[in-house]
Amino acid sequence: MKDFLDAETLRLFDETREVRVETSRDSDAPEHRTTIWVVTVGRAVFVRSVRGEEGRWYREVTANPAACVAVGNNRIPVRAVPATAEATIEAVSETYWEKYGGTSPGSTQAMLQPKTLPTTLKLEPA
């Protein structure tokens, strides 16, 4: 497994507009794939559910934090950890706006709504 904290993989996450997250509600359930946005803050990778807690992939990854993210030609095993620090959530929101706001302002604004903020997850190497 490749540690995605290396500069090359962080750059790939940073430059990639959309990734596919692969989740399942438990280890015996079928895998579900969803296209989502991803941002990097420093040397950390974050995702957020545009549908808040109602998003299927979000419900699955909070029930079973083991997931994979397909970015470029790489399939990277991850563990999703809730990001709860207010400063982190603010930094992630700012980074979403910087990365996506210029080309998709409406969709980006949806990612910054109060219902989405608690769904901020840090992706760690699995």
Give the pLDDT confidence score for residue 94 in this predicted structure: 97
Give the pLDDT confidence score for residue 8 in this predicted structure: 86
Q: Are 38 and 21 in contact (CB under 8 A)?
A: no
Give the pLDDT confidence score for residue 9 in this predicted structure: 84
Say if pTM beats, i.e. exceeds, 0.85. yes
Give the pLDDT confidence score for residue 2 in this predicted structure: 45
CA-based nearest residue to 38, from 64, 67, 59: 67
How many other β-carbons are positioned within 10 Å of the β-carbon of residue 119? Answer: 23
- Ranges under pLDDT 50 in the chain: 1-2
SS3 content of the chain, % helix, strand, coil (to 5): 35, 30, 35
Sorted by sequence, the CB contacts under 8 Å of residue 97 that are 6+ apart come out as: 108, 112
Rg (CA), the chain: 13
Question: 7-125: what fold?
Answer: Pnp Oxidase; Chain A (2.30.110)
